[in-house]
């Protein structure tokens, strides 16, 4: 039996006496699409940050493909195939789109912390970066500074840079937030075409995206798992409905 | 797109032309300049290296140091002590100076890099003041506030007798700084250099891409220390003397002004800053005591109208002339089917 892509054991996070996450268990199989939903303040983003290594848990263990990464810093978790996107697209605004992808591709390529290799002379990496940009329809903005790009472009660039690194476990933190309503179908289609050898965990408020995309849904409420199941099961679940689905916290696009 | 490519190419070739002109001007300068202006130029060249090393921290990595004089002074004292006490020649003395700067950075890095922003500024400031205090009190070794006079200026052997001693020393400085600047160019154009800019923009994102950002900052701090000490060693030779003033935070502050005035994060900007500040100091001070007032005014004007530094002046002029033309950035999202499909298809086949 293969190890789960992600296994959380009793993940607890308290900040200043406040319990943000309260003993969360979670098991995501390889290739699965898992959505984590819940009202604002349920702890979804905190949970993703604990998984990615940006926040240490107060208690509990994080295992990625069977490796215990609880004590690994965020940059080392990339080695086991983890990548995360942010609510605000995780792109470097002063750099060009090309440089953003290059930075992703150049990781570990040149020795001595990159001192041994020139960015301009690495034609192979540059060619690869251009083809990534082409695949994501970003070629026309390759030399634009990211701060001049629209939100939708920045989101695509964020995903393109992370895809260039071939993650096995992808964490998406509200990727549809900030997209215009008419941008969402294209975005959803893109998510649905992600290869099945990649495990995806999605935190999202847009129920349209969640129910179309997820194999299973975990509902968080007050830092604990309220329920978990297939989209149909969750849709039927009375507690989940009370906590979230029919609640006042629903977004207008839900 | 096409036009843009051409623009980039012509900008690059005009920059290369400018560099070539500057190099030739620096090489022939001694033929036209008397000793005094040549000594000012020598100081500008030395300070250029110093502020470029500071720019690695401030401009590229976004670590605002107000204590870079610690390395400048360490290099100066290393060279002075070795030249006076051990009669070491310039090459080994400068190598030891660089190693001393690197050692100081190795030791202090873990402390100052616990912080960033204003706290980093204060910690680096404290660091240089601690060294200042040590040097001030340790009279037997450092000469205290008298400093160490009598550092002999190195000369290029094949030029001695051909040109005067100031000219000869100028070429020594030019050679050392040119080699150092070439390696600095390599550093900022390497993937390491791109990582530095990424850390300046958003350290967490760079960490999320899998880069050990703390180690990256530690290494750039060490590099900046080495280059800063090299400049400090040259400066001790230039003055023929080293004193605690070379360690003072005032020296670090002046260097910071040069970096910001010239353009933090641009390669040549700090050189421009050093040139303007030193020319103001030596030229304006010949007709008024208040050269620092003039410097203040220049600094205020630059911050108001060229907040990114003098080096951006050509960009600013181009922007102003380009006003009215439509912006190049695309404003809308492309159609639905254009969604990285090739990438995904390719990936799923593997």
Say whether residue B207 is in contact with chain A using an 8 A CB cutoff. yes
Same domain membership, residue A123 and residue A239: no
The ipTM assigned to this model is 0.90
Same domain, residue pair A153 and A211: no
Find, in chain B, the residue whose alpha carbon is nearest to that of A89. Answer: B205
Q: Let me know if residue A48 belongs to a domain.
A: yes
- With CA atoms as reference, the chain A residue closest to B201 would be A92
The residues of chain A scoring below 70 in pLDDT are: 1, 243-254
Instruction: Summarize pLDDT for B289-337 with one digit per residue, the tens.
Output: 788 888 888 888 888 888 888 888 888 888 788 775 544 444 444 333 3
Global pTM reads 0.89
The pLDDT score that the predictor gives to residue B305 is: 86
pLDDT tens per residue, range B122-144: 999 999 999 999 999 999 999 99
- Residue A129, in any domain of the structure: yes
Tokens of B319: 């922007």
Beta-strand pair B241-242/A169-173: unpaired
Residue A198 lies in a domain: yes
Q: Give the residue from A134, A164, A194 where a domain finishes.
A: A164
Instruction: For chain B, give the mean pLDDT.
Output: 88
In a domain, B274, yes or no: no
Does a structural domain hold residue A86? Answer: no
Q: Tell me, what's the pLDDT at B341? A: 38
pLDDT of residue B4: 52
pLDDT at res. A114: 86
pLDDT band at residue B251, thresholds of 50, 70 and 90?
very high
A112, A190, A192, A196: best to mutate for the B interface, most B CBs within 10 A: A190
Q: Domain boundary at A164, A193, A210, which?
A: A164
Give residue B347's pLDDT band: very low, low, confident or very high (50, 70, 90): very low
| Assigned token pair, B65 | 């140091």
Tell whether the model's pLDDT for residue B350 goes beyond 50. Answer: no
Whether A179 and A230 map to the same domain: the answer is: yes
Task: Please tell me whether residues A153 and A253 are part of one structural domain.
Answer: no
CATH number for the domain including A234? 3.40.50.300
Show the domain range for B190.
32-248
Q: Tell me which residues of chain A, numbers 36 to 95, contact chain B at a CB-CB cutoff of 8 Å.
A: 52, 54, 73-76, 78-79, 83-84, 86, 90-95
Same domain flag for A60 and A106 = no
Shared domain for A108 and A70, answered yes or no, is no
pLDDT at B312: 84
In whole angstroms, what is the distance from residue A128 CA to residue B346 CA? Answer: 13
What is chain B's Cα-based Rg? 23
Provide the pLDDT for residue B345. Answer: 39
Structural domain boundaries, residue A5? 1-81+167-254
Residue A87 resides in a domain: no
Overall domain count for chain B: 1
Domain annotation covers residue B230? yes
Model pLDDT, residue B304: 86
Give the count of domains, chain A.
2
Alpha-carbon radius of gyration of chain A: 19
B-proximal residues of A, 205-234, CB under 8 Å: none
- Find the residue in B nearest to A192 (Cα): B344
Measured between alpha carbons, how far is A200 from A173 in angstroms, rounded to an integer? 11
Cβ within 8 Å, pair B191-A84: no
Question: According to the model, what pLDDT value does residue A254 have?
Answer: 37
Q: How many CB atoms lie within 10 A of CB A233?
A: 13
Give the mean model confidence (pLDDT) for residues B216-233. Answer: 98
Evaluate whether residue B5 is within a structural domain. no
pLDDT for position B109: 97
The pLDDT of residue B7 is 65
Q: Report d(CA B118, CA B97) in Å as an integer.
A: 29
What local confidence, expressed as pLDDT, does residue A244 receive? Answer: 66
The DSSP secondary structure of A100-140, one letter per residue, reads: HHHHHHTTTTSTTTTTTSBTTT-HHHHHHHHHHHHHTT-GG
B207/A73 CB distance under 8 A:
yes
**Same domain for A138 and A235:** no
A-chain CB neighbours of B208 within 8 Å are 52, 54, 74-75, 78, 83-84, 90
Give pLDDT tens digits for B167-195: 999 999 999 999 999 999 999 999 999 99
Give the helix/strand (H/E) hosting B223: helix B213-239
| φ, ψ dihedrals at A27, nearest 5° | -140, 120
pLDDT digits (tens, 9 = 90+) for B79-99: 999 999 999 999 999 999 999
Q: Which of A128, A143, A164 is the last residue of a domain?
A: A164
Question: CA-CA distance, A15 to B26, in Å (whole number)?
Answer: 60
- Judged by average pLDDT, the poorest of A173-177, B88-92, B204-208, B281-285 is B281-285
Q: Is residue B342 part of a domain?
A: no
pLDDT of residue B15: 86
Our CA-based measurement puts residue B222 at a distance from the nearest CA of chain A, in whole angstroms, of: 13
- Residue pair B113/B218 in contact (Cβ under 8 Å)? The answer is yes
């Amino acid at each position: 039996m293969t190890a789960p892509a992600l296994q959380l054991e009793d993940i607890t996070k308290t900040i200043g006496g406040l319990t943000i996450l309260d003993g969360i268990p979670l098991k995501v199989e390889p290739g699965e699409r898992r959505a984590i939903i819940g009202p604002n303040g349920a702890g979804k983003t905190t949970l993703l940050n604990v998984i990615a290594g940006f926040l240490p848990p107060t208690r509990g263990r994080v295992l990625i493909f069977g490796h215990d990464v609880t004590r690994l810093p965020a940059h080392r978790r990339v080695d086991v195939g983890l990548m995360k996107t942010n609510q605000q697209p995780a792109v470097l605004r002063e750099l060009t789109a090309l440089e953003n992808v290059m930075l992703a591709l150049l990781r570990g390529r040149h020795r001595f912390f990159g001192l041994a290799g020139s960015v301009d002379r690495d034609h192979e990496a540059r060619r690869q970066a251009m083809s990534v940009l082409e695949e994501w329809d970003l070629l026309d903005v390759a030399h634009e500074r990211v701060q001049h790009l629209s939100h939708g472009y920045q989101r695509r660039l964020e995903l393109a840079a992370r895809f260039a690194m071939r993650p096995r476990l992808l964490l998406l933190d509200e990727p549809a937030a900030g997209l215009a309503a008419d941008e969402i179908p294209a975005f959803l289609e893109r998510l649905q075409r992600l290869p099945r050898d990649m495990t995806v965990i999605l935190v999202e408020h847009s129920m349209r995206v969640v129910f179309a995309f997820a194999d299973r849904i975990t509902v968080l409420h007050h830092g604990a798992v309220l329920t978990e199941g297939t989209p149909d099961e969750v849709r039927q679940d009375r507690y989940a409905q009370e906590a979230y689905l029919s609640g006042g916290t629903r977004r207008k696009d839900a | 797109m096409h036009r843009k490519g051409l623009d980039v190419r012509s900008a690059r070739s005009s920059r290369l032309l400018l560099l070539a002109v500057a190099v030739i001007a620096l090489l022939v300068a001694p033929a036209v300049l008397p000793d005094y202006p040549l000594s000012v130029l020598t100081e500008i060249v030395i300070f250029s290296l110093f502020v470029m090393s500071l720019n690695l921290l401030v401009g590229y990595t976004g670590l605002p140091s107000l204590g870079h004089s610690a390395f400048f002074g360490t290099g100066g004292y290393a060279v002075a002590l070795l030249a006076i006490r051990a009669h070491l020649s310039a090459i080994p003395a400068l190598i030891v100076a660089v190693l001393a700067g690197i050692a100081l950075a190795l030791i202090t890095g873990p402390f100052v890099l616990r912080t960033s922003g204003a706290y980093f500024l204060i910690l680096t400031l404290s660091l240089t003041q601690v060294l200042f205090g040590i040097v001030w009190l340790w009279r037997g070794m450092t000469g205290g506030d008298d400093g160490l006079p009598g550092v002999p200026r190195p000369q290029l052997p094949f030029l001695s007798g051909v040109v005067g001693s100031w000219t000869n020393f100028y070429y020594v400085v030019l050679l050392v700084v040119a080699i150092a600047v070439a390696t600095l160019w390599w550093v900022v154009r390497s993937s390491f250099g791109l990582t530095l800019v990424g850390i300046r923009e958003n350290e967490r994102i760079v960490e999320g891409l899998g880069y050990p950002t703390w180690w990256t900052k530690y290494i750039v701090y060490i590099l900046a220390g080495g280059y800063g000490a090299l400049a400090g060693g040259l400066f001790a030779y230039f003055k023929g003397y080293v004193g605690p003033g070379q360690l003072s935070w005032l020296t670090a502050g002046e260097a910071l002004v040069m970096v910001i005035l010239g353009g933090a994060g641009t390669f040549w900007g700090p050189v421009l800053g050093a040139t303007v500040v030193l020319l103001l100091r030596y030229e304006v001070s010949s007709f008024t005591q208040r050269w620092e007032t003039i410097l203040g005014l220049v600094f205020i004007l630059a911050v108001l109208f060229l907040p990114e530094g003098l080096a951006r002046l050509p960009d600013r002029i181009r922007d102003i002339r380009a006003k009215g033309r439509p912006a190049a950035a695309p404003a809308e999202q492309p159609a639905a089917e254009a969604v990285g499909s090739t990438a995904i298809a390719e990936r799923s086949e593997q």
